[in-house]
Amino acid sequence: MQPLRARRVLLGITAGIAAYKAAELARLLVKDGADVQVVMTRSATQFIGAMTLQAITGRPVRDSLFDAQHEAAMGHIELARWAEVIVIAPATASTLAHLAAGTADDLLTTLCLASTAPLLVAPAMNQAMWAHPATQANIGVLSGRGTQLIGPAVGEQACGDQGAGRMQEPAQIRGAIHDLLMKSGALRGKRVIVTAGPTREAIDPVRFVGNRSSGKMGFAVASALVAQGADVTLVAGPVALPTPGGITRIDVESADDMHDAVFTSLPGAAIFVACAAVADFRPARAAEQKIKKTDETLVVEMIRNPDILSEVSASPARPFCVGFAAETHDVENYARGKLLAKGLDMIAANQVSASQGFEVDDNALLVLWEGGQQRLPMQSKSRLAAQLVELIVDRFNAQTATEDS
């Protein structure tokens, strides 16, 4: 899996001995699938060759505000908007001072000033320079503005000193970039609808037919989508769960209510994830008064409920559709059948039994799509949801890229 597939990372390199490690960082990010644009300060080119970084990233390195050819291809303001995250590794004391002061006297500092993307800095300098009150004050200013800091590490320095000032290792910086991008989100600006929980189909004013579903998986999926920046509407059947932060929740009872809430929210939605355990049938008529137990038997005529997911999938301007399939046996076959029958882009299937799937905190999924599949092993529903959402983002981006080309 390429967790940073098509994510846009602007990698700033400034003049420190650790600049050579930036090549390894660029390599790791490219391996993760990221589009990496390197921007070097002029002095950084004394420490590492631009050709090396160009070969690794497949993009010409930028180092000047006044390069007519590059500016014509993508002007510096465009480049500032292009970046989803800006990482400066290594970041010298001088660069930190410029960033803190807000000066824009070369391409890199200008980009930082012109961009709203999160900024991550990996300081690297002599330990005395790091400890100096001026540097510490600059770090304080930057942290106060939300700049993320990684390192510096403590150890032996190129100049022979011991202390804090070594650039953090590329693998650690890569981890911090992952975290930042997860928070900033691959689904920023996208509307997503999630259904969750059971539905209740009234037999009379006090009794209902329903499904065993706690709603936990759907709520976890909704949270994982929010963590990717999506604008999430959660249509929830009757469940005893608090609303996760950042979500618009619509509470419903029956399949019909859920159907109406989904279709009201549908215009403009990019993704629909149907986690709800919708009752397939409902009583043809709900009695107006409580049914008395006068007879030995009770016959309730049941009629089919609308299949919300199939209808959404068949609607014009349909969103990317993800379904769930809870099966007791032959999971893969049944799930593949549903993927085709409902015209879905992806289906997440799980084996259900008395101890697995419903009303528990852990679960495992087999995720299928046309031409591929992935098993997500048994783990907490929240971790599972995060992995499922990564797959959704992957497939959604791949499909959008195909449609655009």
Closest separation between CB of residue 344 and ligand C5P, Å? 8
> Binding residues for ligand C5P, how many (CB under 6 A)?
14
Rule CB under 6 A: is residue 362 a binding residue for ligand C5P?
no
Rule CB under 6 A: is residue 325 a binding residue for ligand C5P?
yes
DSSP letter, residue 243: P
Handedness of CA 50, 51, 56, 57 (dihedral sign): positive
From 83-91, 97-105, 146-154, 322-330, span contacting ligand C5P (CB under 6 A): 322-330
Element at 101 (helix H, strand E)? helix 93-101
Nearer to ligand C5P, 236 or 255 (CB): 255
Catalytic residue among 112, 159, 275, 321: 159
* E strands present in 241-371: 247-251, 271-274, 281-283, 302-304, 320-327, 346-351, 362-369
Nearer to ligand C5P, 95 or 223 (CB): 223
3-class SS of residue 400: helix
Instruction: Provide the token pair at 392.
Output: 């959704």
167 and 18 in contact (C-beta within 8 Å)? Answer: yes
Rule CB under 6 A: is residue 230 a binding residue for ligand C5P?
no
Closest separation between CB of residue 300 and ligand C5P, Å? 18
Find the binder of ligand C5P among 308, 366, 367, 392 (CB under 6 A).
308
Find the binder of ligand C5P among 208, 320, 324, 358 (CB under 6 A).
324
Element at 60 (helix H, strand E)? none
40 and 105 in contact (C-beta within 8 Å)? Answer: no
Query: How far is residue 335's CA from residue 351's CA, in Å, rounded to a whole number?
Result: 10
Query: How far is residue 380's CA from residue 67's CA, in Å, rounded to a whole number?
Result: 51
Nearer to ligand C5P, 77 or 341 (CB): 341
Question: In Å, how far are 15, 95, 159 from 20, measured between CA atoms?
Answer: 10, 17, 16
- In the shown chain, the binding pattern of residues 174 to 213 toward ligand C5P, with x for contact by CB under 6 A and - for none, equals ---------------------x------------------
- In the shown chain, the binding pattern of residues 257 to 296 toward ligand C5P, with x for contact by CB under 6 A and - for none, equals -----------------x-x-x-x----------------
Closest separation between CB of residue 275 and ligand C5P, Å? 6
Query: How far is residue 221's CA from residue 392's CA, in Å, rounded to a whole number?
Result: 11
Strands 162-166, 191-196: parallel, antiparallel or unpaired by DSSP?
Answer: unpaired
Nearer to ligand C5P, 141 or 302 (CB): 302
Rule CB under 6 A: is residue 305 a binding residue for ligand C5P?
yes
Rule CB under 6 A: is residue 255 a binding residue for ligand C5P?
yes
- Give 132: exposed, middle or buried? Use CB within 10 Å, 0-12, 13-18, 19+: middle
- Give 250: exposed, middle or buried? Use CB within 10 Å, 0-12, 13-18, 19+: middle
Rule CB under 6 A: is residue 323 a binding residue for ligand C5P?
yes
Examine the residue annotation and report whether 275 is marked as an active-site residue of this protein. no
Closest separation between CB of residue 194 and ligand C5P, Å? 10
Closest separation between CB of residue 57 and ligand C5P, Å? 40
The residue written with tokens 């800095």 in the block is 121
From 126-134, 232-240, 306-314, 350-358, span contacting ligand C5P (CB under 6 A): 306-314
Closest separation between CB of residue 271 and ligand C5P, Å? 13
The set of catalytic residues is 159
Residues of the shown chain interacting with ligand C5P in the complex, contacts defined by CB under 6 A: 195, 255, 274, 276, 278, 280, 305, 307-309, 323-325, 338
